[in-house]
Amino acid sequence: MSASMDVSTSGEIQRPDTQSNAQRVGCHRPVSPGQSQEDISLDAPYSPGRHSPILNGRDSVRKVLETFRERGGAAADIANSYYGPVIENFDCEKSIYTAVEVTAGNRLFHHIVDSDKVGTQILKEMNRQKLPGEVTFMPLNRLHVKEQNYPNTNDAIPMVTKLNYELKYDKALRYIFGKTLICRNLEVATHLAKTSGLDCVTLEGDQVSSKGSLTGGYFNTSRSRLEIQKTRSELNAQIRESEEELAKLRENLRETESKINHIVSEMQKTETKNSKAKDIFDKVKADIRLMKEEQTGIERYKLPKERSLEQYASSMEAMKTTKDGLESELHQELMSQLSVSDQLEVDKLNDDIRRLTQENKEAFSLRMRLEAEKNKLENLLTNNLMRRKDELVQALQEISVEDRKRQLENCKSELIAIEKRIDEVNKEFKNMEKKVQEAMKMQKSEQQAQDKGKTKEKEIQEKIQEDAKDLEKMASKQNTLQSKIADCTKKIQELGSLPSPEIYAKYQNLSTKNLFKEMEKANSHLKKYSHVNKKALDQFMSFSDQKEKLVKRKEELDRGDEKIKELMLVLEQRKYEAIEFTFKQVSKYFSEVFHKLVPSGHAQLVMRRNEDEAGGSQDVESDSDKFTGVGIRVSFTGRNAEMREMNQLSGGQKSLVALGLIFSIQKCDPAPFYLFDEIDQALDSQHRMAVADMIHELSRDAQFITTTFRPELLVHANKFYGVKFRNKVSHVECVSREEAADFVEDDTTHG
């Protein structure tokens, strides 16, 4: 069985023929004769905005590896089992760059992985993300490299011995370069290719294949891919160093900023404590001042109030005396006793009394206003000016001049220390900024250099594509010229035998007229020999040449026939091994699965062979032709019971055997999902339960969709759908486990 598979971009999984072990995604193409049967290749649609399918594939692999590293766990292990392209995993002297490049070609960009499983997982993820590009993997566990016997000569050296690489990449490097010798010149390469059976290459890039083909021509060393890869690696190393230095600078900057923030935080805490203490002190001072002001106000208003009280008491006694006198006079008739002049005087006095009373009221009002203003000014004096005076006096009393000088000096020293620390921090910050700017400039220059490298790489790829197109044109032109040469050669042969050089020299200087005369003489002379076959010599020469060509062609065909027979033997052997391996695997799983389905039973697969073939022939070429089919022999009653063929079984037993075979193939070659339509219809309850358990066991690696009218398959199911027929239309609804159980029970009861 082939260990690889084809995975299409639509998610379809197909198995290729056993002659191809290539694994491809998105393109089903036969493996070319020069391609490794252990390579796993990916061809995805070409993106016009990218450089080439190979570079697109490299970028796609990087994206997949980043995805695996972000996922962690088993996906991270897959990413760690990827070792990079071949070109990044070896080094060599600059003098053999050309020889190495023409030998490896695009295989320099093949990707080395630990196993074929790693390559398969990467391909599946690329297919899932629909990433473009062409990728070829070289799984180290599938590469088989034969030991080569290199010729002992001073004119050639094995190419693989001139490469520097880690030991774990030995298989991959020997697989590509192990059959190639670096020769001193083209003659040595041609000789060694014939005698040793190895491919040879010169330092100028001329190749001589062991099969006889020779390839060469001008090679532009200025566009060397190895040189570009070396420059790219150096630039990447510089970028990594710059990034590490930038990270250190940023870390130092963060530490400095953290220290600054810590110092500022401590300063703020100290200022907050001082502010709180000052607020408490000011509040206590204000309370004391208010109490003193209240006491002073009370004492100030006490004496005037006492004096006013005494004055009001004396005034009250005088007013009572006046009142008594006036009341006594009120009861006397004064007007009758007064003269006219006295009455006039009384009237005048009454007018004066009314006027003075009015003036007294106005004066009293003015006095009240003045007293209000006086009280306002006294309040201003008491509450503001006197309070400020007391504060200043108290402050002068509390703080002496020496204390103030000492506090001033302390504050100045603290201020100087803080300013000095701020200057140091600012200098450190400026230095950090300067280093960060330098690192950014360096990073920018490295990025520009990297961009230039990418641009140059793109130009190289475009040049390669252009050269490939030119090479195709030249090959086409060469084929055209070769066909013309063949036509001209054929025409020359049809002319007959050509005259000797002496004849050319004799008639070279004759004029056309004389040549025609000589030709007429020759023709008249030839008429005498009309009965002779004039083309006999020409035909003899022609047939002799054809005989030599046919003999050479026969030798080439004989050698080709031997090569083809050898290839057929190898393919037949692989085909035989694949059939044997697949049969043994399926047979083993079939016996195990059938024993689980029928604990008391026993089953085995039987390979049917062609019994009519002669027993004496043991050629490998005919081994696979002996297989005519596969038979099944089962026993449901015990291991020692009689084994029966399929045509002797009942319908339910045949169904059980068929399911066992399907499950064994599932274990051997898993499919993503299976659709089973009423597979338990002909089974009894015990066997239905065994089938349900087997499906549950295999559901860890695949999805199973089943239709059933029996409850046993519902036990391990994860999702249930009911199909109902209403109004001549089928309806599918998602139902619960209980509803599904009721559904099949009702159908069993009423159906």
Could you give the count of Cα atoms lying within 13 Å of 508 in the half-sphere of its Cβ?
8
CA distance 90 to 50: 27
- Token pair belonging to 367: 């006095």
Torsion sign, CA atoms 573, 575, 577, 579? negative
Tally of residues, the chain:
751
- Residue 140 binned pLDDT confidence (cut-offs 50, 70, 90): very high
Max avg pLDDT among 254-258, 316-320, 639-643, 648-652? 254-258
Q: What are phi and psi for residue 599, nearest 5 degrees? A: -55, -30
425: exposed, middle or buried (Cβ count in 10 Å: 0-12, 13-18, 19+): middle
- Token pair belonging to 414: 């603290």
- What is the SS3 assignment for 694? helix
CA distance 461 to 451: 15
Element (H, E) at 242: helix 225-330
What was the pLDDT predicted at 33? Answer: 33
Q: What is the DSSP letter of 338?
A: S
Name the residue with higher pLDDT: 349 or 504. Answer: 349
Q: What is the pLDDT of residues 621-632, one digit of tens each?
A: 456 667 778 888
Q: What is the pLDDT of residues 712-746, one digit of tens each?
A: 888 888 888 888 888 888 888 888 888 888 877 76
Q: What is the pLDDT of residues 655-698, one digit of tens each?
A: 888 888 888 888 887 788 888 888 888 788 888 888 888 888 88
Q: What is the pLDDT of residues 277-319, one digit of tens each?
A: 888 888 887 888 788 777 777 777 777 777 777 777 777 887 8
What was the pLDDT predicted at 621? Answer: 44
Fold of the CATH domain 670-751? Rossmann fold (3.40.50)
Max avg pLDDT among 117-121, 375-379, 659-663? 117-121
CA distance 39 to 116: 9
What was the pLDDT predicted at 640? Answer: 64
Max avg pLDDT among 136-140, 398-402, 571-575, 642-646? 136-140
Q: What is the DSSP string of 660-673?
A: HHHHHHHHHS--SE
- Residue 2 binned pLDDT confidence (cut-offs 50, 70, 90): very low
- Token pair belonging to 73: 């766990």
- Token pair belonging to 547: 């005989």
Name the residue with higher pLDDT: 45 or 374. Answer: 374
Q: What is the pLDDT of residues 686-710, one digit of tens each?
A: 888 888 888 888 888 888 898 888 8
CA distance 206 to 202: 5
- Residue 336 binned pLDDT confidence (cut-offs 50, 70, 90): low
Q: Which of 144-148, 253-257, 480-484 has the lowest mean pLDDT?
A: 253-257
Residues 6+ apart with CB under 8 A from 87: 108, 109, 225, 226, 229
Do 171 and 140 touch, CB atoms closer than 8 A? Answer: yes
Whether 139 shows a pLDDT value over 90: the answer reads: yes
Q: Where are the domains of the chain?
A: 6-146+163-175, 273-312+353-469, 560-639, 670-751
Residues 6+ apart with CB under 8 A from 195: 151
Q: What is the pLDDT of residues 497-548, one digit of tens each?
A: 566 667 767 777 788 888 888 888 888 887 777 777 767 777 788 888 899 9
Report, as an integer, the average pLDDT of 323-340: 65
Whether 495 shows a pLDDT value over 70: the answer reads: no
Do 190 and 208 touch, CB atoms closer than 8 A? Answer: yes
CA distance 299 to 147: 124
Report, as an integer, the average pLDDT of 128-156: 90
659: exposed, middle or buried (Cβ count in 10 Å: 0-12, 13-18, 19+): buried
25: exposed, middle or buried (Cβ count in 10 Å: 0-12, 13-18, 19+): buried
Report, as an integer, the average pLDDT of 373-399: 71
Whether 441 shows a pLDDT value over 70: the answer reads: yes
Between strands 703-707 and 214-215, the pairing is: unpaired
Q: What is the pLDDT of residues 191-207, one digit of tens each?
A: 888 888 899 999 888 88
- Token pair belonging to 257: 């900023």
Between the CA of residue 318 and those of 174, 228, 325, 360, 579, what are the distances in Å? 143, 129, 11, 19, 150
pTM beyond 0.75, yes or no = no
What was the pLDDT predicted at 28? Answer: 30
What was the pLDDT predicted at 398? Answer: 61
What was the pLDDT predicted at 489? Answer: 79
First to last CA, the chain: 46
- Token pair belonging to 98: 């050309």
Residue with tokens 């005494």: 310
Q: What is the DSSP letter of 51?
A: S
Q: What is the DSSP letter of 325?
A: H
